[in-house]
A and B are shown apart, each in its own frame.
Chain A
C-alpha cells in the first residue's frame, strides 16, 4: 500500500477556521453528541449516506469533519463519493477535479486529488469522471482510496451516494467501519426507509436531520411525561 506520510500538507495560506467548512454552527452543535456517540476520537472511517438525495448528507459529513478537526484536534479527510450530484467542489470553492473518480480510474495520483482546506481538514472531491460512478465504486476494491489515506490522517469522512437515489448506492456502503444514515424529518418517505431497512448494515447509525417539533414546549413536556 502506498504510504502518504508527508504528502498531505497544510495549505500555504490556511482558510479561516469559520469558513473552512461552511456549516451552520447550530448544525455543528447538534452533531457533537452524534460524533461522540458513533465513536468520537476512536472514529477512523465513517460513511454518511441517506435513503434519497437531498437529505443533508454533505452538510452532516462536513459538520462531522469540522467537529473531528476543531474539537478533537484530529486530521480529517472529507471524501466525496456521490458522483451523481457532486456539490463539495462548488461549496468549498475547490476545482472539480481531479478527485475520487480520477484516482480510482487511474487518471490521477493520491497527492493530486487531496485538497487542503484548513490545517487539519483535507477534501477529495468526486472528480471529473462522475458519469462512471458505478464503475468507480466497483474499482474501489482494486484501488482503495480510504485505505491509502488512513495512515496519513486520523479519520476519513465519506459523503456517500444515496442508497435508493443511484444504482451503486448500496454497494458504496461496503468497507466503512461506521455508517451514518441521514434521514430528513418531514421529507424522507416511510416507504423508502422500509425499503432500505433490511439492506442496511448492522453497524449503521441513524441521524434525524431537520427535526423540528411544531408543538409548544409545555405540550412536548406533557406528551413526554
Chain B
C-alpha cells in the first residue's frame, strides 16, 4: 500500500493529468452545450385489459412487463422507423442536432442527415422508461429543443400503443382461427351423433312412441348427442367472444395520466453536471488508479530500507537521501 501511494505521489502530475484533461474537457463541453429539456409522461397500466402473454412470467407485475416491452422496442430499428415517420421527426431531430452539436458548430463534424438511424440513436440514448408504482409507468425524453422533446415523447407513446394493439389483435386473430377450426370439428361431431341416433330409431320404430321404454343404446346415443351439442354451444360462445374482442380491440391497455407536454424549464444544472462530468470523472479515476497500479507492479526496483533488509537479509547501515544534480555540481 505504501509503495502504491509512493508511486502515486512520485508520478502524481502524470497520474492526475489525464484525469484533469478528461474532466476539464467534459466541463468545457458542458459549458458550450445548449440547455436540455426533458418531457415526461406518466401512464396508468390497466391490469385487467392487458392479457398476459408469453414471457409475462419473467416480470413481477404487468407494469414491469409494459416497461420491459417498451425498453425493448426502443432498442429496435423497426420501432424507431415508425416513430421517425410521425410529424417529420427525423428531419427536425437532424436540424436540432446541427444547431446544438458543438462539433458541428465548430465545423469539426459534418451535420448528420435525417434518417431512421438518427431517431434510433436518439431513442436509445435519450428516452428513459421507469415504473414509479405498481400501475404507473413514467417515460421521458430529453432534447435541446423543448417542442421536439414533447413531440418525440408523444410519438413514442402513440407508437407504443399501436404496437400493443397490433400485438393483441394478432394474438386474438390467431385464437379465432383455432376456435373456428374447432367449431367446424364440433359441428361435424354433432351431425354424426344426430345421424347415428336417426339410424338407430329407423331400425327400432317401436322406440319412437312416447310411452316406449328407451333401451340402453338409445340412452347412450341421446347422451352423446347432448354432450356434443353442449360443447358446440361453448365453442360458438367462445368464437363470438373472440370476434367481439377483435372488433373492439382499439384499447391500448393503458391510459395517459400526465400527457407529454412541452417542458418550460431546462434540465437542472446539477443533474446535467452529474451526467456530463461524473462519468468522465469516474472513467478518469479508473484510468488513474489503473495507471498507478501498472506503474507500481512494473517497478522492479528497491525503494525502501525495509524492502532491502527483507530481500538481502543483511543489516541496514543507513540510508542516504537523494541529492539533486545541481547540488552535486556545486560540490564539484
A interface, CB within 8 angstroms of B: 22-24, 26-27, 30-31, 33-34, 37-38, 56, 60, 63, 91, 180-181, 183, 185-191, 193-194, 197, 200, 202, 204-216, 219, 223
Evaluate contact between A186 and B301: CB separation under 8 angstroms. Answer: yes
Cβ of B54 under 8 Å from chain A: no
Cβ of B204 under 8 Å from chain A: no
27 A-B contacts (beta carbon < 8 Å):
A22-B332, A26-B327, A30-B321, A31-B318, A34-B318, A185-B302, A186-B301, A186-B302, A188-B302, A189-B300, A190-B302, A190-B311, A193-B312, A197-B311, A202-B314, A206-B309, A206-B317, A207-B319, A207-B320, A208-B304, A209-B320, A211-B304, A214-B6, A214-B9, A215-B5, A215-B9, A223-B1
Query: A208 contacts which of B300, B305, B331 (Cβ < 8 Å)?
Result: B305
Query: A205 contacts which of B10, B315, B323 (Cβ < 8 Å)?
Result: B315
B295 to chain A, nearest CB (A): 12
Evaluate contact between A204 and B304: CB separation under 8 angstroms. Answer: no
For A216, the chain B residues whose CB sits under 8 A away are 9
Minimum CB distance partner of B8 in chain A: A214
Evaluate contact between A193 and B300: CB separation under 8 angstroms. Answer: no
For A183, the chain B residues whose CB sits under 8 A away are 302, 308, 312
Evaluate contact between A223 and B321: CB separation under 8 angstroms. Answer: no
For A213, the chain B residues whose CB sits under 8 A away are 6, 304
Query: B321 contacts which of A26, A191, A205 (Cβ < 8 Å)?
Result: A26
For B328, the chain A residues whose CB sits under 8 A away are 24
Evaluate contact between A223 and B312: CB separation under 8 angstroms. Answer: no
For B321, the chain A residues whose CB sits under 8 A away are 26-27, 30, 210-212
Evaluate contact between B302 and A193: CB separation under 8 angstroms. Answer: yes
Q: How far is the CA of A13 from the CA of B328 in the complex (A)?
A: 25
For A24, the chain B residues whose CB sits under 8 A away are 323, 327-328, 331
Evaluate contact between A206 and B322: CB separation under 8 angstroms. Answer: no
Evaluate contact between A211 and B320: CB separation under 8 angstroms. Answer: yes
B310 to chain A, nearest CB (A): 10
For A191, the chain B residues whose CB sits under 8 A away are 300
Query: B5 contacts which of A26, A186, A207, A223 (Cβ < 8 Å)?
Result: A223
Minimum CB distance partner of A204 in chain B: B314
A30-B6 CB under 8 A given contacts A24-B331, A185-B304, A211-B304? no
Evaluate contact between A210 and B322: CB separation under 8 angstroms. Answer: yes
Evaluate contact between B314 and A181: CB separation under 8 angstroms. Answer: yes
Evaluate contact between B316 and A207: CB separation under 8 angstroms. Answer: yes
Evaluate contact between A208 and B312: CB separation under 8 angstroms. Answer: no
Minimum CB distance partner of A91 in chain B: B332
Evaluate contact between A223 and B2: CB separation under 8 angstroms. Answer: yes
Q: How far is the CA of A63 from the CA of B319 in the complex (A)?
A: 13
Cβ of B303 under 8 Å from chain A: yes
Evaluate contact between B320 and A30: CB separation under 8 angstroms. Answer: yes
A157 to chain B, nearest CB (A): 14
A interface, over-half SS:
mixed
Q: How far is the CA of A31 from the CA of B319 in the complex (A)?
A: 8
B326 to chain A, nearest CB (A): 11
Evaluate contact between A205 and B314: CB separation under 8 angstroms. Answer: yes
Q: Which of B6, B300, B321 has the most CB of A within 10 A?
A: B321
For A38, the chain B residues whose CB sits under 8 A away are 317
Cβ of B313 under 8 Å from chain A: yes
For A30, the chain B residues whose CB sits under 8 A away are 318-321
A91 to chain B, nearest CB (A): 8
Q: How far is the CA of A34 from the CA of B315 in the complex (A)?
A: 11
Q: B1-20, CB under 8 A of A: which get 1 and which 0? A: 11001100110100000000
Evaluate contact between A208 and B319: CB separation under 8 angstroms. Answer: yes
With A30-B320, A214-B6, A215-B2 known, 6 other A-B pairs at CB within 8 A are A23-B331, A37-B317, A181-B312, A197-B313, A200-B312, A215-B5
For B319, the chain A residues whose CB sits under 8 A away are 30, 185, 207-209, 211
Evaluate contact between B308 and A210: CB separation under 8 angstroms. Answer: no
For A207, the chain B residues whose CB sits under 8 A away are 316-320
Evaluate contact between A190 and B301: CB separation under 8 angstroms. Answer: yes
Query: B316 contacts which of A190, A193, A206, A223 (Cβ < 8 Å)?
Result: A206
Query: A37 contacts which of B301, B309, B318, B322 (Cβ < 8 Å)?
Result: B318
B262 to chain A, nearest CB (A): 54
Give residues of chain B (274-332) contacting chain A, Cβ–Cβ below 8 Å.
299-305, 308-309, 311-323, 327-328, 331-332
Minimum CB distance partner of B12 in chain A: A214
Minimum CB distance partner of B299 in chain A: A186
For A210, the chain B residues whose CB sits under 8 A away are 320-323
